[in-house]
Amino acid sequence: MPEQLWVGIHGEVKIPKPQGAATPQLLRRVNAQAVLAAIRGADVATGTELMAGTGLTRASVIAVCEDLIRRGWIRELDAPRKNTQAAGIPQKGRPARRFELRARAGVVLGLDIGAATTTAVVADLRGRVLGRAGGSFWAADIPASERISVVDRACRQALEAAGEDAGRVLAVGAGIAAPVDRDGNVLSAQHFWSLFDVGLRSALADLHGWRVLLENDANLAALGERWRGSGGGVEDLVVLLAGERLGAGVLESGRLLHGHGGGAGEMGFLDMVQGVGSSDGIASLARQWLVEAGGPAGGGEVNARRVFEDAAAGDATALAVLDRLSERMARVIAAIASLINPELVVIGGAVADSAGALLPGITAALPRFTATPPRVAVSPLGDAIVTVGAVRHALDFVEANALELELPAPA
Protein backbone atom coordinates (compact mmCIF):
# COMPACT_ATOMS: atom_id res chain seq x y z
CA MET A 1 0.00 0.00 0.00
CA PRO A 2 1.53 3.38 -0.94
CA GLU A 3 2.44 5.80 1.79
CA GLN A 4 0.02 8.65 2.26
CA LEU A 5 0.37 11.52 4.68
CA TRP A 6 -1.55 14.69 5.39
CA VAL A 7 0.40 17.80 6.32
CA GLY A 8 -1.54 20.28 8.42
CA ILE A 9 -1.67 24.04 7.95
CA HIS A 10 1.25 24.47 10.31
CA GLY A 11 3.51 21.78 8.89
CA GLU A 12 2.67 19.00 11.29
CA VAL A 13 2.45 15.59 9.66
CA LYS A 14 -0.62 13.50 10.42
CA ILE A 15 -2.12 10.24 9.23
CA PRO A 16 -5.16 11.19 7.12
CA LYS A 17 -8.62 9.77 7.19
CA PRO A 18 -9.27 7.54 4.19
CA GLN A 19 -10.75 9.55 1.30
CA GLY A 20 -10.68 7.16 -1.62
CA ALA A 21 -7.82 6.11 -3.81
CA ALA A 22 -4.86 8.49 -3.98
CA THR A 23 -3.14 9.05 -7.30
CA PRO A 24 0.66 8.77 -7.56
CA GLN A 25 0.80 12.47 -8.39
CA LEU A 26 -1.13 13.37 -5.23
CA LEU A 27 1.12 11.15 -3.11
CA ARG A 28 4.21 12.81 -4.58
CA ARG A 29 2.82 16.23 -3.71
CA VAL A 30 1.86 15.24 -0.17
CA ASN A 31 5.21 13.56 0.48
CA ALA A 32 7.10 16.56 -0.91
CA GLN A 33 5.11 18.86 1.35
CA ALA A 34 5.88 16.68 4.36
CA VAL A 35 9.61 16.62 3.61
CA LEU A 36 9.77 20.38 2.98
CA ALA A 37 7.97 21.06 6.26
CA ALA A 38 10.42 18.82 8.14
CA ILE A 39 13.49 20.38 6.50
CA ARG A 40 12.14 23.89 7.15
CA GLY A 41 12.05 23.13 10.86
CA ALA A 42 15.74 22.19 11.04
CA ASP A 43 18.96 23.87 9.96
CA VAL A 44 20.18 20.58 8.47
CA ALA A 45 18.30 17.28 8.32
CA THR A 46 19.58 13.78 7.69
CA GLY A 47 17.60 11.12 5.92
CA THR A 48 17.02 9.36 9.24
CA GLU A 49 15.70 12.58 10.81
CA LEU A 50 13.38 13.12 7.86
CA MET A 51 12.05 9.58 8.22
CA ALA A 52 11.27 10.28 11.87
CA GLY A 53 9.70 13.65 11.08
CA THR A 54 7.48 12.47 8.23
CA GLY A 55 6.79 8.77 8.82
CA LEU A 56 8.03 7.95 5.32
CA THR A 57 10.37 5.10 4.47
CA ARG A 58 14.01 5.80 3.68
CA ALA A 59 13.46 5.04 0.00
CA SER A 60 10.57 7.53 -0.17
CA VAL A 61 12.52 10.22 1.70
CA ILE A 62 15.53 9.89 -0.59
CA ALA A 63 13.37 9.88 -3.72
CA VAL A 64 11.55 13.03 -2.58
CA CYS A 65 14.80 14.76 -1.62
CA GLU A 66 16.40 14.01 -4.97
CA ASP A 67 13.32 15.38 -6.73
CA LEU A 68 13.41 18.55 -4.61
CA ILE A 69 17.13 18.97 -5.29
CA ARG A 70 16.52 18.79 -9.03
CA ARG A 71 13.78 21.40 -8.73
CA GLY A 72 15.96 23.75 -6.65
CA TRP A 73 14.13 23.64 -3.31
CA ILE A 74 16.82 21.95 -1.23
CA ARG A 75 20.53 21.15 -1.50
CA GLU A 76 22.57 18.20 -0.31
CA LEU A 77 25.53 19.03 1.90
CA ASP A 78 28.89 17.31 1.87
CA ALA A 79 29.42 14.77 4.63
CA PRO A 80 31.35 16.33 7.55
CA ARG A 81 34.93 15.21 7.98
CA LYS A 82 35.53 13.22 11.14
CA ASN A 83 38.68 13.21 13.24
CA THR A 84 39.22 9.58 12.32
CA GLN A 85 39.38 10.54 8.65
CA ALA A 86 41.84 13.30 9.35
CA ALA A 87 44.04 10.80 11.22
CA GLY A 88 43.95 8.37 8.30
CA ILE A 89 41.59 5.93 10.02
CA PRO A 90 38.96 4.67 7.56
CA GLN A 91 35.33 5.48 8.40
CA LYS A 92 32.94 2.57 8.83
CA GLY A 93 29.70 2.66 6.88
CA ARG A 94 28.31 5.21 4.51
CA PRO A 95 28.11 8.78 5.90
CA ALA A 96 24.59 10.06 6.50
CA ARG A 97 23.16 12.17 3.71
CA ARG A 98 22.41 15.70 4.90
CA PHE A 99 19.91 18.10 3.36
CA GLU A 100 19.26 21.82 3.73
CA LEU A 101 16.46 24.07 2.58
CA ARG A 102 17.47 26.71 0.03
CA ALA A 103 15.79 29.40 2.08
CA ARG A 104 16.46 32.17 -0.45
CA ALA A 105 15.32 30.17 -3.47
CA GLY A 106 12.31 32.46 -3.45
CA VAL A 107 10.37 34.71 -1.08
CA VAL A 108 6.81 35.25 0.10
CA LEU A 109 4.92 38.37 1.06
CA GLY A 110 2.69 38.77 4.12
CA LEU A 111 0.19 41.65 4.18
CA ASP A 112 -1.95 43.13 6.96
CA ILE A 113 -4.53 45.44 5.37
CA GLY A 114 -6.61 47.42 7.82
CA ALA A 115 -9.02 50.31 7.47
CA ALA A 116 -6.37 52.97 8.13
CA THR A 117 -2.99 51.32 7.49
CA THR A 118 -1.31 48.45 5.72
CA THR A 119 1.90 46.55 6.47
CA ALA A 120 3.90 44.35 4.10
CA VAL A 121 6.68 41.97 5.07
CA VAL A 122 8.99 39.88 2.89
CA ALA A 123 10.11 36.52 4.26
CA ASP A 124 12.33 33.71 3.03
CA LEU A 125 11.22 30.11 2.82
CA ARG A 126 11.97 29.54 6.51
CA GLY A 127 9.71 32.44 7.40
CA ARG A 128 12.53 34.81 8.41
CA VAL A 129 11.56 38.43 7.77
CA LEU A 130 13.88 40.13 5.28
CA GLY A 131 12.13 43.44 4.77
CA ARG A 132 9.15 45.43 6.00
CA ALA A 133 7.24 48.53 4.92
CA GLY A 134 3.96 50.23 5.69
CA GLY A 135 1.50 52.71 4.29
CA SER A 136 -1.57 54.68 5.30
CA PHE A 137 -4.95 55.28 3.67
CA TRP A 138 -6.14 58.87 3.82
CA ALA A 139 -9.65 57.60 4.63
CA ALA A 140 -11.35 54.27 5.17
CA ASP A 141 -13.83 54.81 2.35
CA ILE A 142 -11.36 55.48 -0.48
CA PRO A 143 -11.61 54.28 -4.09
CA ALA A 144 -10.48 50.72 -4.71
CA SER A 145 -7.70 51.88 -7.03
CA GLU A 146 -6.19 54.07 -4.32
CA ARG A 147 -6.32 51.31 -1.71
CA ILE A 148 -4.60 48.94 -4.15
CA SER A 149 -1.98 51.61 -4.94
CA VAL A 150 -1.07 52.03 -1.26
CA VAL A 151 -0.82 48.26 -0.76
CA ASP A 152 1.28 47.83 -3.90
CA ARG A 153 3.65 50.61 -2.85
CA ALA A 154 4.16 48.98 0.56
CA CYS A 155 4.92 45.65 -1.15
CA ARG A 156 7.48 47.21 -3.47
CA GLN A 157 9.14 49.09 -0.62
CA ALA A 158 9.34 45.93 1.50
CA LEU A 159 10.91 44.05 -1.43
CA GLU A 160 13.43 46.84 -1.91
CA ALA A 161 14.32 46.71 1.81
CA ALA A 162 14.82 42.94 1.46
CA GLY A 163 16.98 43.29 -1.64
CA GLU A 164 14.51 41.23 -3.66
CA ASP A 165 12.49 41.91 -6.79
CA ALA A 166 8.86 41.22 -7.63
CA GLY A 167 9.71 38.26 -9.86
CA ARG A 168 11.02 36.24 -6.91
CA VAL A 169 7.71 36.29 -4.99
CA LEU A 170 6.17 32.80 -4.91
CA ALA A 171 2.96 33.69 -3.04
CA VAL A 172 1.31 36.51 -1.12
CA GLY A 173 -0.71 35.99 2.06
CA ALA A 174 -3.04 38.95 2.67
CA GLY A 175 -5.21 39.58 5.72
CA ILE A 176 -8.15 42.00 5.64
CA ALA A 177 -10.60 43.18 8.31
CA ALA A 178 -13.57 41.45 6.68
CA PRO A 179 -14.89 37.87 6.42
CA VAL A 180 -13.39 35.83 3.58
CA ASP A 181 -14.75 32.48 2.43
CA ARG A 182 -12.76 29.34 1.64
CA ASP A 183 -12.31 30.47 -1.98
CA GLY A 184 -10.92 33.89 -1.05
CA ASN A 185 -14.11 35.86 -1.74
CA VAL A 186 -14.96 38.79 0.53
CA LEU A 187 -18.31 38.69 2.31
CA SER A 188 -19.65 42.20 1.64
CA ALA A 189 -22.87 41.98 3.65
CA GLN A 190 -21.89 45.08 5.68
CA HIS A 191 -20.62 48.42 4.34
CA PHE A 192 -17.38 48.26 6.33
CA TRP A 193 -16.59 44.81 4.97
CA SER A 194 -17.30 45.96 1.42
CA LEU A 195 -14.48 48.52 1.72
CA PHE A 196 -12.03 45.63 1.42
CA ASP A 197 -13.64 44.06 -1.64
CA VAL A 198 -11.33 45.95 -4.00
CA GLY A 199 -10.17 43.19 -6.37
CA LEU A 200 -6.76 42.90 -4.75
CA ARG A 201 -6.09 39.39 -6.04
CA SER A 202 -6.62 40.23 -9.68
CA ALA A 203 -4.88 43.63 -9.34
CA LEU A 204 -1.63 42.22 -7.93
CA ALA A 205 -1.78 39.34 -10.42
CA ASP A 206 -2.04 41.85 -13.26
CA LEU A 207 0.72 44.07 -11.88
CA HIS A 208 3.24 41.41 -10.90
CA GLY A 209 1.90 37.95 -11.73
CA TRP A 210 1.56 37.14 -8.02
CA ARG A 211 -0.69 34.49 -6.51
CA VAL A 212 -2.59 36.30 -3.71
CA LEU A 213 -4.19 34.25 -0.92
CA LEU A 214 -6.84 36.48 0.65
CA GLU A 215 -7.92 35.67 4.21
CA ASN A 216 -9.58 37.28 7.22
CA ASP A 217 -7.06 39.02 9.48
CA ALA A 218 -8.17 37.22 12.66
CA ASN A 219 -7.87 33.86 10.88
CA LEU A 220 -4.30 34.72 9.92
CA ALA A 221 -3.67 35.82 13.51
CA ALA A 222 -4.69 32.31 14.60
CA LEU A 223 -2.24 30.77 12.12
CA GLY A 224 0.52 33.09 13.32
CA GLU A 225 -0.15 32.39 16.98
CA ARG A 226 -0.18 28.63 16.39
CA TRP A 227 3.11 28.90 14.48
CA ARG A 228 5.20 31.34 16.50
CA GLY A 229 3.14 32.52 19.45
CA SER A 230 1.69 31.07 22.63
CA GLY A 231 -0.54 28.61 20.74
CA GLY A 232 2.17 26.16 19.71
CA GLY A 233 0.87 22.59 19.81
CA VAL A 234 -2.72 23.66 20.52
CA GLU A 235 -5.28 22.08 18.19
CA ASP A 236 -8.37 23.93 19.46
CA LEU A 237 -7.44 27.58 19.57
CA VAL A 238 -9.20 30.94 19.39
CA VAL A 239 -7.27 34.17 18.83
CA LEU A 240 -9.11 37.38 19.64
CA LEU A 241 -7.97 40.53 17.90
CA ALA A 242 -9.09 42.87 20.65
CA GLY A 243 -8.04 46.43 19.81
CA GLU A 244 -10.80 48.71 18.48
CA ARG A 245 -13.18 45.89 17.56
CA LEU A 246 -13.27 42.22 18.51
CA GLY A 247 -12.74 39.56 15.87
CA ALA A 248 -11.83 35.91 16.32
CA GLY A 249 -9.84 33.38 14.36
CA VAL A 250 -10.82 29.82 15.23
CA LEU A 251 -8.82 26.62 14.84
CA GLU A 252 -10.74 23.40 15.48
CA SER A 253 -8.70 20.20 15.45
CA GLY A 254 -5.90 22.19 13.84
CA ARG A 255 -7.99 23.54 10.94
CA LEU A 256 -9.37 27.01 10.33
CA LEU A 257 -13.13 27.46 10.60
CA HIS A 258 -14.62 29.68 7.89
CA GLY A 259 -18.32 28.93 7.91
CA HIS A 260 -20.54 29.07 4.83
CA GLY A 261 -19.62 32.60 3.76
CA GLY A 262 -16.47 33.15 5.79
CA GLY A 263 -18.30 34.62 8.78
CA ALA A 264 -17.10 32.16 11.44
CA GLY A 265 -15.47 34.14 14.24
CA GLU A 266 -17.37 37.36 13.59
CA MET A 267 -18.40 38.92 16.91
CA GLY A 268 -21.70 40.61 16.00
CA PHE A 269 -23.56 38.15 18.22
CA LEU A 270 -22.06 39.93 21.26
CA ASP A 271 -24.72 42.63 20.81
CA MET A 272 -27.12 40.07 22.28
CA VAL A 273 -24.91 38.79 25.12
CA GLN A 274 -25.92 40.02 28.58
CA GLY A 275 -23.23 42.17 30.16
CA VAL A 276 -21.42 42.70 26.83
CA GLY A 277 -23.74 44.37 24.33
CA SER A 278 -21.27 45.19 21.55
CA SER A 279 -18.11 43.99 19.80
CA ASP A 280 -16.09 47.00 20.98
CA GLY A 281 -12.51 46.02 21.75
CA ILE A 282 -10.23 46.68 24.71
CA ALA A 283 -8.68 49.88 23.35
CA SER A 284 -12.05 51.38 22.48
CA LEU A 285 -13.66 50.50 25.81
CA ALA A 286 -10.66 51.69 27.83
CA ARG A 287 -11.00 55.16 26.28
CA GLN A 288 -14.78 55.26 26.64
CA TRP A 289 -14.80 54.20 30.28
CA LEU A 290 -11.92 56.48 31.26
CA VAL A 291 -13.80 59.46 29.84
CA GLU A 292 -16.97 58.36 31.67
CA ALA A 293 -14.94 58.25 34.90
CA GLY A 294 -13.73 61.83 34.47
CA GLY A 295 -10.56 61.32 32.46
CA PRO A 296 -6.99 60.48 33.49
CA ALA A 297 -5.52 61.79 36.73
CA GLY A 298 -3.74 65.05 36.03
CA GLY A 299 -5.33 65.39 32.58
CA GLY A 300 -3.61 64.60 29.30
CA GLU A 301 -4.39 62.34 26.37
CA VAL A 302 -7.07 59.69 26.75
CA ASN A 303 -5.93 56.35 25.32
CA ALA A 304 -5.71 52.71 26.29
CA ARG A 305 -1.99 52.85 27.01
CA ARG A 306 -2.59 55.63 29.54
CA VAL A 307 -5.22 53.51 31.32
CA PHE A 308 -2.84 50.57 31.74
CA GLU A 309 0.07 52.80 32.78
CA ASP A 310 -2.01 54.61 35.39
CA ALA A 311 -3.36 51.32 36.71
CA ALA A 312 0.19 49.99 37.09
CA ALA A 313 0.98 53.11 39.12
CA GLY A 314 -1.97 52.38 41.42
CA ASP A 315 -4.47 54.99 40.16
CA ALA A 316 -7.91 54.04 41.50
CA THR A 317 -9.85 55.24 38.46
CA ALA A 318 -7.66 53.30 36.02
CA LEU A 319 -7.82 50.20 38.22
CA ALA A 320 -11.63 50.38 38.17
CA VAL A 321 -11.56 50.53 34.35
CA LEU A 322 -9.31 47.45 34.27
CA ASP A 323 -11.74 45.60 36.54
CA ARG A 324 -14.58 46.38 34.12
CA LEU A 325 -12.46 45.31 31.15
CA SER A 326 -11.56 42.03 32.87
CA GLU A 327 -15.18 41.13 33.52
CA ARG A 328 -16.27 42.22 30.03
CA MET A 329 -13.56 40.07 28.39
CA ALA A 330 -14.43 37.15 30.69
CA ARG A 331 -18.02 37.30 29.43
CA VAL A 332 -16.83 37.45 25.81
CA ILE A 333 -14.47 34.51 26.26
CA ALA A 334 -17.17 32.54 28.13
CA ALA A 335 -19.57 33.04 25.22
CA ILE A 336 -16.91 31.74 22.83
CA ALA A 337 -16.12 28.83 25.15
CA SER A 338 -19.77 27.84 25.34
CA LEU A 339 -20.04 27.77 21.54
CA ILE A 340 -16.67 26.34 20.51
CA ASN A 341 -14.99 24.86 23.62
CA PRO A 342 -11.37 25.79 22.75
CA GLU A 343 -8.42 24.70 24.84
CA LEU A 344 -6.84 28.15 24.68
CA VAL A 345 -8.01 31.69 23.94
CA VAL A 346 -5.28 34.20 23.09
CA ILE A 347 -5.77 37.96 23.23
CA GLY A 348 -3.78 39.45 20.37
CA GLY A 349 -3.14 42.59 18.38
CA ALA A 350 -1.74 45.96 19.41
CA VAL A 351 -3.30 45.73 22.91
CA ALA A 352 -1.60 42.42 23.73
CA ASP A 353 1.42 44.09 25.35
CA SER A 354 -0.86 45.62 27.99
CA ALA A 355 -3.59 43.00 28.21
CA GLY A 356 -1.55 40.76 30.50
CA ALA A 357 -2.80 42.93 33.36
CA LEU A 358 -6.32 41.65 32.64
CA LEU A 359 -5.50 37.94 32.82
CA PRO A 360 -5.90 37.42 36.61
CA GLY A 361 -9.34 39.06 36.57
CA ILE A 362 -10.44 37.20 33.44
CA THR A 363 -9.30 33.84 34.78
CA ALA A 364 -11.00 34.42 38.14
CA ALA A 365 -14.30 35.46 36.54
CA LEU A 366 -14.58 32.79 33.83
CA PRO A 367 -16.01 29.97 35.99
CA ARG A 368 -18.97 32.24 36.84
CA PHE A 369 -19.98 32.40 33.18
CA THR A 370 -19.13 29.03 31.63
CA ALA A 371 -18.77 25.40 32.63
CA THR A 372 -15.93 24.98 30.12
CA PRO A 373 -13.43 27.77 30.87
CA PRO A 374 -10.41 27.70 28.55
CA ARG A 375 -6.90 28.75 29.35
CA VAL A 376 -6.35 32.42 28.49
CA ALA A 377 -3.08 34.00 27.37
CA VAL A 378 -1.84 37.11 25.61
CA SER A 379 0.09 36.93 22.36
CA PRO A 380 3.82 37.69 22.33
CA LEU A 381 3.57 38.74 18.67
CA GLY A 382 2.14 42.22 19.26
CA ASP A 383 0.89 44.08 16.21
CA ALA A 384 2.87 41.72 13.93
CA ILE A 385 0.47 38.86 14.60
CA VAL A 386 -1.43 39.18 11.30
CA THR A 387 1.67 39.48 9.10
CA VAL A 388 3.21 36.46 10.86
CA GLY A 389 0.09 34.48 10.00
CA ALA A 390 0.05 35.87 6.45
CA VAL A 391 3.61 34.64 5.92
CA ARG A 392 2.65 31.22 7.29
CA HIS A 393 -0.36 31.08 4.99
CA ALA A 394 1.80 31.87 1.96
CA LEU A 395 4.43 29.31 2.97
CA ASP A 396 1.75 26.64 3.41
CA PHE A 397 0.67 27.27 -0.18
CA VAL A 398 4.26 27.18 -1.45
CA GLU A 399 5.09 23.92 0.31
CA ALA A 400 1.84 22.28 -0.80
CA ASN A 401 2.50 23.23 -4.44
CA ALA A 402 6.28 22.87 -4.59
CA LEU A 403 6.16 20.34 -7.42
CA GLU A 404 4.06 22.68 -9.58
CA LEU A 405 5.75 26.01 -8.79
CA GLU A 406 8.70 27.09 -10.89
CA LEU A 407 11.42 28.71 -8.79
CA PRO A 408 12.79 32.03 -10.05
CA ALA A 409 16.32 32.33 -11.34
CA PRO A 410 18.89 33.10 -8.60
CA ALA A 411 19.12 36.79 -7.74
Whether residue 312 contacts residue 357, with contact meaning beta carbons closer than 8 Å, is answered with yes
pTM of the predicted structure, to 2 decimals: 0.91
We find that the CATH architecture of domain 107-222+386-400 is 2-Layer Sandwich (3.30)
H-state helical runs in 135-250: 144-162, 191-194, 200-208, 217-228
Cα of 411 vs its chain's centroid, Å: 27
Instruction: Dump pLDDT digits (tens) for 113-166.
Output: 999 999 999 999 999 999 999 999 988 889 999 999 999 999 999 999 999 999
Identify the burial level of 357 via C-beta atoms within 10 angstroms of its C-beta, where 0-12 means exposed, 13-18 middle and 19 or more buried.
Answer: middle
Closest CA to 223 of 188, 199, 258: 258
Whether residue 331 contacts residue 270, with contact meaning beta carbons closer than 8 Å, is answered with no
Domain boundaries, the chain: 6-91, 107-222+386-400, 232-380
Instruction: Dump pLDDT digits (tens) for 290-305.
Output: 999 998 887 888 999 9
Q: Is the dihedral of CA 349, 353, 357, 363 positive or negative?
A: positive
Whether residue 162 contacts residue 156, with contact meaning beta carbons closer than 8 Å, is answered with no
121 bridge partner residues: 110, 132
- Please check whether the two domains, 107-222+386-400 and 232-380, share a CATH topology: yes
Instruction: Dump pLDDT digits (tens) for 351-390.
Output: 999 999 999 999 999 999 999 999 999 999 999 999 999 9
Rounded CA separation 311/302 (Å) = 14
Pick the CATH number of 232-380 from 3.30.499.10, 3.10.28.10, 3.30.420.40, 2.40.50.100: 3.30.420.40
Whether residue 216 contacts residue 262, with contact meaning beta carbons closer than 8 Å, is answered with yes
